[in-house]
Amino acid sequence: MYECPNCNANLKFDIKTQMLLCDRCDTKMDPYAFQKEQDAEEQTIQEGDYEITVFTCPQCGGQLVSDDTTAATFCSFCGSSTILQSRVSNLRRPRYIIPFQKTKEDCRDIYRKMMKHAWYAPGQMREEAHISRMRSIYMPYWVYTAAKYGRARQSASQYVRNVNYDVTMYSWLQGHVKAECKWLAFDASSSFSDRLSNAIAPFVWLDIKRFTPSYLSGFYADVDDVPPELYESDVSDIMQYELYKRFAKEPIFEKYTLGDMSDDLRPNEIYKELALFPVWFLTYRDKDRVSYVVINGQTGKAAGDIPVDVNRYFMGSVLLALPLFGLLSLAGNLQPAVMLVTAGVLAGICAFFSVKQQKQLRAKEDYKDDKGSGRYLDIGVRRERKPGKFAVPAVPLTVGDVLAVTWKSAIGILAAILIMVCQPALAFYYYAAAAAILMLMGWDVMEIIGRHNLLASRPLPQFERRGGEEDGR
């Protein structure tokens, strides 16, 4: 706990004034002016083969609940903001920090605005009690600077017309290049999904400050657990693509058509620094799964995975179905064959959505959508990156994968085709088949919603592991 020099109360970083502020006596201090060597008391206990590090709250002496990546937290007993100094010292000390610019109130408004469009979100997500649980966390990011100094060569071709001949000349364009790309940021926390961090990017480097632990007072903070080498290939790809694009626009190269990107355009030096960026988190938990809404603490850009409440969704669909039923009745009931074909087409649409979701689920299960995840590191997958694109690679599905989600649609389509081929005399058969297909599709759509919810959530544990709360809970 950072104590106020006047009243010994907890000094916390105030977002509005961008100063350390004492809630009790209103003392304001420059974060760089306040230096403290030790905050939470740290004790290492050796028990056989195990080494346990216990942090205790400097205010009440209670044990702090933390994990290996926690850098700042709150005491579960007294609610004091505490910084685990050893986590942000020496080699693991971040170089930069972007302090929070958006207050909790700002983020609540942003969140409420975002939820206006989430008609079928669970009711709990709109409750004030839930919104007030928004947490401010400094997330670790690797910030890269890539540089290319020296000779570079790029293939190019030039077209000329020579009397009756079309002539294409192939050549190398060679020269000395001096280029730099600074502030390429990638999240360095294995718990923070790449999708979420990409959705709230970018953090604007103009507000970046030299790191001092005082900025962490009053916030949660994580340290890195992703090696910096992980994103070097991405940085190299980006640099190569950017240089290529720039050269293509240069007037001197105008008369040339550049060939495939040359490896000479890749950087020959990559520097990395650790930085802490501000993110507001709001967690919604449903049984053993969690969904996150995250807000960029600097720019206010929000993104989130919003699950669907099945009951609300069903009721909403029934309400929408009433005018549709009216329209269908007014327009005259559909002929039996038309009804059957329509049911078959709907089965096809359901199959399309199911396969699309299955691909996304598989990418998620294989951690192909999250390069920084622990699992991703374990299995050593290298993400294929198209030049300049930040897309998740396509995941091939097996026949079994496809059938597992489309068997209902397949039965529906086959039944429709069979009836249309046999052309029974009685209209009843058409309607009965259409009704059966539509019932299957109802089941299928509910499963599609279930898969949507799986895609919009992650299994525990994630940021749920955090212990103390600001109010000492």
Partner 1 sequence: MMGNKIGMTILLAVLLCGLTVQAAEPGSMQAEAAQTENVFYTNPSTGYQAIIMDERNTLSEEDKEELLQIMEPITRYGQAVYKTVTSSGTFGANKYAEIQYGASISADSGVLVLLDLGSGTFKVRCGGKMERIIDKKLAKTISTSATNAFAQNGQAITPPKYAFEQVSARVEQARKALPVKYACNAMLALIIAMLINFVLVERLSQMQKTSEQELMDNVIGYSRHGEVLIEYLTRTETYHPRSKR
> Which of the residues 252 through 271 are near partner 1 (CB under 8 A)?
252-253
- Residues 333-372 touching partner 1, rule: CB under 8 A, are 333-334, 336, 339, 342-343, 346, 349-350, 353
**Helical ranges in 24-103 per DSSP H:** none
Note whether 305 binds partner 1 by CB under 8 A: yes
List residues bridging with 276 in a β-sheet. Answer: 97, 140
Output the six-digit token pair for 282: 């709001």
389 binds partner 1 (CB under 8 A): yes
By CB under 8 A, which span of 16-24, 83-91, 125-133, 322-330 interacts with partner 1? 322-330
Contact 215, 66 (CB under 8 A): no
Within 135-174, the residues that bind partner 1 by CB under 8 A are: 148, 152, 162, 164-174
What is the rounded CA–CA span in Å between residue 349 and residue 355? 10
Closest distance of CB 77 from partner 1, Å: 37
Query: Which CB atom, from 232 or from 470, has the smaller least distance to partner 1?
Result: 232
CA angle, 357 as apex, 355 and 361 as ends, to 5°? 115
Q: Which of 369, 203, 372 lies closest to 279, judged by CA? A: 203
Name which position in 438, 447, 454, 470 contacts partner 1 (CB under 8 A): 438
Check binding of 435 to partner 1 (CB under 8 A): yes
> Residues 24 to 43: which contact partner 1 by CB under 8 A?
none
Q: Which stretch binds partner 1 (CB under 8 A): 5-13, 89-97, 131-139, 442-450?
A: 442-450
Contact 336, 343 (CB under 8 A): no
Q: Which residues contact 434 (CB under 8 A, 6 or more apart)?
A: 336, 339, 340, 342, 343, 416
Going by C-beta distance under 8 Å and a sequence separation of 6 or more, which residues neighbour residue 423?
none
Q: Which of residues 100-129 bind partner 1 (CB under 8 A)?
A: 117-120
Which residue, 26 or 250, has its beta carbon nearer to partner 1?
Answer: 250
The answer to the question of residue 242 lying near partner 1 (CB under 8 A) is: yes
Does 393 sit near partner 1 (CB under 8 A)?
no
- CA separation for the pair 184, 200 (Å, rounded): 14
Q: Applying CB under 8 A, which of residues 332, 380, 396, 459 lies at the interface with partner 1?
A: 332
Output 32 or 205, the one with its CB closest to partner 1: 205
Of these, 134, 199, 411, 420, which contacts partner 1 (CB under 8 A)? 199
Residue number, 21 or 290, with CB nearest to partner 1: 290
The residue range among 315-323, 398-406, 414-422, 459-467 that interacts with partner 1, by the rule CB under 8 A, is 315-323
Q: Which of 284, 434, 462, 468 binds partner 1 (CB under 8 A)?
A: 434
Distance between CA atoms of residues 113 and 117, nearest Å: 8
Length of the chain, in residues: 473
Position 300 contacts partner 1 (CB under 8 A): no
Residues between 171 and 190 with contacts to partner 1, criterion CB under 8 A: 171-184
- Provide, rounded to whole angstroms, the least separation between the CB of residue 286 and partner 1: 15
Nearer to partner 1, 169 or 403 (CB): 169
Q: Are strands 96-97 and 269-286 parallel, antiparallel or unpaired?
A: parallel
426 forms part of the interface with partner 1 (CB under 8 A): yes
Q: Under 8 Å CB-to-CB from 386, ≥6 apart: which residues?
A: none
What torsion do the CA atoms of 323, 326, 327, 333 make, to the nearest 10 degrees?
A: 150
Which phi and psi angles does 2 have, rounded to 5°? -90, 115
